[in-house]
């Protein structure tokens, strides 16, 4: 390149620009040191060309033009070199920063991978811990709650009954805490799945009310409820979770209310295609919640006042779980409260109504009750309002009275009634005293009297003075039965109740062959006693190997299979039974103290037919066995089990 420039004119050569370009290319492709060497060399060459001249021009006159050309060439080269150096320095700096950033990212990614592995390990450890704790706690709890339930069916004096109730209440409280922790774990992990099965809305609400009625009565609280007449009976949804939300709200209302009343209201709005948005509210006259503390209501492991944890108990999870459950059911949960006045908790859920015939007590046409005149006597205004609303729906007329004295004054004026609803607990004069006063002051009047009393307050004096006794909160179905028993010939509410009870607990056929697979001796005894309640006899196996041996000796219709057993667990045993007997195998029901997300699915996928969680309740066991018998009686399955 130097020779070419010299040959084509030296300082006057048109190729002189390539010196500057060479310096620039050196900067781009080589390092800074090489670029500086190239720059010095290029300047030296330009000066040399000026001094030496050209091979074709021996004497080069030194004029102004040549000086300017040399100066411009040198400055241009230096300028281009420095521009290149600037950009190269910037590139190097950027590259260094990029390398540092990439190193930081790699370090961060490495830490994230480690943290993720640790989090997964912690989650797995927590799940295993909860599963183990669930099993270890539920197994003895099954014996406690199961035996207590059986104990109530034996003759007990008042002291023994009180002790039994304490045991049962404590066991159920412990079970509630366990379930809260497990449910919260499922929800946080996003593994809680809702069932979609038809359920009786009114029955669900009344079941929950039955659970809290005893405690509310012991505190002297008025417990009442109203379900709008137009609300359908059957809905498709998760009845268990629906009950759970309502039970939590009602339990809190009873816990935080010292005096006054608790009112449950169930309404709803019909949307489209049979869908309903159900709206339930639980109103109490409890301590209330300050506005500035309302935001703590739905925080995990939190209560409005930390002192309430010690005074009232609880994990602080109930409302959080209820709120999440309502949201999972396409609804929401919120609260309104005023300190010293009380609180109202609302929740909505979306459900699909199931068409079907409504029960008789839900019909508006009641020929037997039409135009009957009712005296509604209760000192609680809410109770009177609900009762009056109900009797009016059946075509009955009514008059209200808020005290025994007011009722007596009405009768003295000549007012006559076909029947009277009388509250037991009233100021100045209770229901029994009023009944005696009516017999004394109006001996010729034979007005039927129905007593409204709290749970556990019935005695012989009440039975003698009243036509019938209704337990609060008054169920419309029971009130309807009492009215029909009073006004219809040959109708006995007591006979109907006994018939329904016998039907619900009708004993199974003695020929039903059941094998109970359970390694815990206490749970063996409890299970056998429970089955005996339904007229069933069963054999016992303590592990999976004994189950297989028992099936060789004789066939069984149903196997109640405990999951955690020594020698061979329930899942492995089930798989071997399916392998050996195929479609002729017995109906297998999983018994487990585990209650974590996915347990049910795992057991059903292993080939089991149904699932029963410990502690086992009589009514749940009965339902599972009835379902098993129904499946076994299908033509295909029945044909397989002919021996």
Give the domain ranges of the chain.
Answer: 2-114, 197-354, 364-497, 514-640
Structure tokens at 429: 């004069």
- Number of neighbours of residue 242 by Cβ within 10 angstroms: 25
What is the pLDDT at residue 222?
93
> Which helix (H) or strand (E) segment is 200 a member of?
strand 197-200
What's the rounded Cα separation, in Å, for the pair 381 and 375? 14
Structure tokens at 32: 């800074």
State the residue for tokens 């969680």. Answer: 613
Fold of the domain built from segment(s) 197-354: Heat Shock Protein 90 (3.30.565)
- The residue length of the chain stands at 643
Strands 373-377, 419-423: pairing is parallel
What is the pLDDT at residue 91?
72
Same fold, 197-354 and 514-640: no
The half-sphere exposure of 497 on its side-chain side, counting CA atoms within 13 A, is 11
Question: Which positions ≥6 away from 405 have C-beta within 8 Å?
Answer: 428, 429
Structure tokens at 411: 């009768």
What is the pLDDT at residue 628?
87
First-residue to last-residue Cα distance in the chain: 108
Contact yes or no for 49/6 (Cβ under 8 A): yes
What is the pLDDT at residue 164?
80
Q: What is the reported pTM? A: 0.62
What is the pLDDT at residue 62?
42
Contact yes or no for 293/339 (Cβ under 8 A): no
At 266-296, the pLDDT tens digits run 999 998 888 899 999 999 999 898 888 887 7
What's the rounded Cα separation, in Å, for the pair 419 and 398? 10
Alpha helices by DSSP H, 152-224:
158-188, 201-218
**Domain boundaries 514-640, corresponding CATH code:** 3.40.50.2300
Ranges in the chain, pLDDT < 50? 54-62, 64-65, 306-311, 490-507, 639-643
- Number of neighbours of residue 322 by Cβ within 10 angstroms: 23
What is the pLDDT at residue 389?
94
What's the rounded Cα separation, in Å, for the pair 530 and 618? 7
What's the rounded Cα separation, in Å, for the pair 628 and 283? 41
Contact yes or no for 442/411 (Cβ under 8 A): yes
What's the rounded Cα separation, in Å, for the pair 466 and 413? 23
At 119-165, the pLDDT tens digits run 877 777 776 676 666 667 777 777 788 888 778 777 877 777 777 87
Contact yes or no for 280/347 (Cβ under 8 A): yes
> Which helix (H) or strand (E) segment is 31 a member of?
none
State the residue for tokens 């506005």. Answer: 291
Contact yes or no for 408/365 (Cβ under 8 A): no
What's the rounded Cα separation, in Å, for the pair 139 and 348? 35
Query: Of the candidates 279, 405, 400, 409, which has an alpha carbon nearest to the alpha carbon of residue 349?
Result: 279
- Given this structure, which CATH class describes domain 364-497? alpha beta
Structure tokens at 249: 């709200």
């Amino acid at each position: 390149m130097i020779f070419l420039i010299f040959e084509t004119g030296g300082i006057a050569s048109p190729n002189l620009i390539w010196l500057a370009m060479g310096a620039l290319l050196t900067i781009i492709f080589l390092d800074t040191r090489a670029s500086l060497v190239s720059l010095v060399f290029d300047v030296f060459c330009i000066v040399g060309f000026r001094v030496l001249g050209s091979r074709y021009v021996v004497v080069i006159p030194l004029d102004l033009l040549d000086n300017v050309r040399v100066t411009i060439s040198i400055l241009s080269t230096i300028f281009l070199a420095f521009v290149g150096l600037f950009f190269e320095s910037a590139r190097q700096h950027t590259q260094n920063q990029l390398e540092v950033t990439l190193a930081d990212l790699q370090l961060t990614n490495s830490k994230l991978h480690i943290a993720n592995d640790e989090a997964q390990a912690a989650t797995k450890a927590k799940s295993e811990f909860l599963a183990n704790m669930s099993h270890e706690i539920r197994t003895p709890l099954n014996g406690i709650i199961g035996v207590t339930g059986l104990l109530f069916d034996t003759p007990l004096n008042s002291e023994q009954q009180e002790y039994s109730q304490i045991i049962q209440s404590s066991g159920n409280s412990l079970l509630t805490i366990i379930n809260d922790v497990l449910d919260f774990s499922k929800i946080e992990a996003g593994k809680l799945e809702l069932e979609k099965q038809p359920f009786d809305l009114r029955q669900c609400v009344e079941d929950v009310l039955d659970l809290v009625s005893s405690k509310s009565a012991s505190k002297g609280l008025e417990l009442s409820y109203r379900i709008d007449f137009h609300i359908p009976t059957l809905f498709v949804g998760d009845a268990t979770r629906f009950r759970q939300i309502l039970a939590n709200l009602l339990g809190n209302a009873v816990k935080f209310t010292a005096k006054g009343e608790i009112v449950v209201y169930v309404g709803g709005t019909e949307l489209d295609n049979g869908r309903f948005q159900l709206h339930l509210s639980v109103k109490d006259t409890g301590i209330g919640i300050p506005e500035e503390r309302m935001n703590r209501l739905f925080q995990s492991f939190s209560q409005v006042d930390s002192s309430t944890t010690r005074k009232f108990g609880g994990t602080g999870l109930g409302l959080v779980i209820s709120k999440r459950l309502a949201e999972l059911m396409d609804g929401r949960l919120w609260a309104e409260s005023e300190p010293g006045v009380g609180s109202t908790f609302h929740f909505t859920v979306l459900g699909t109504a199931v068409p079907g015939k409504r029960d008789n007590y839900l019909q508006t046409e009641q020929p037997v009750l039409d135009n009957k005149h009712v005296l509604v006597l209760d000192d609680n205004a809410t109770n009177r309002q609900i009762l009056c609303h109900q009797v009016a729906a059946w075509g009955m007329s009514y008059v209200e009275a808020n005290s025994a004295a007011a009722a007596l004054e009405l009768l003295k004026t000549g007012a006559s009634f076909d029947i009277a609803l009388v509250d037991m607990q009233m100021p100045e004069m209770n229901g029994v005293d009023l009944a005696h006063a009516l017999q004394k002051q109006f001996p010729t009047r034979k007005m039927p009297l129905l007593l409204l009393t709290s749970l556990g307050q019935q005695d012989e004096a009440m039975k003698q003075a009243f036509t019938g006794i209704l337990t609060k909160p008054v169920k419309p179905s029971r009130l309807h039965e009492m009215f029909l028993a009073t006004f219809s010939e040959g109708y006995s509410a007591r006979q109907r109740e006994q018939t329904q009870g016998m039907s619900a607990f009708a004993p199974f056929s003695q020929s039903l062959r059941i094998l109970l697979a359970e390694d815990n001796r206490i749970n063996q005894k409890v299970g056998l006693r429970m089955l005996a309640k339904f007229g069933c006899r069963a054999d016992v196996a303590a592990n999976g190997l004994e189950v297989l041996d028992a099936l060789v000796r004789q066939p069984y219709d149903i196997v109640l299979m405990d999951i955690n057993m020594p020698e061979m667990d329930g899942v492995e045993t089930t798989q071997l039974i399916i392998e050996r007997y195929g479609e002729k195998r017995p109906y297998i029901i999983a018994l487990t103290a585990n209650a974590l997300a996915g347990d049910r699915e795992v057991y059903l996928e292993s080939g089991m037919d149904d699932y029963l969680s410990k502690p086992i309740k009589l009514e749940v066991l009965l339902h599972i066995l009835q379902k098993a018998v129904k499946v076994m009686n299908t033509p295909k399955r029945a044909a397989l089990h002919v021996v």
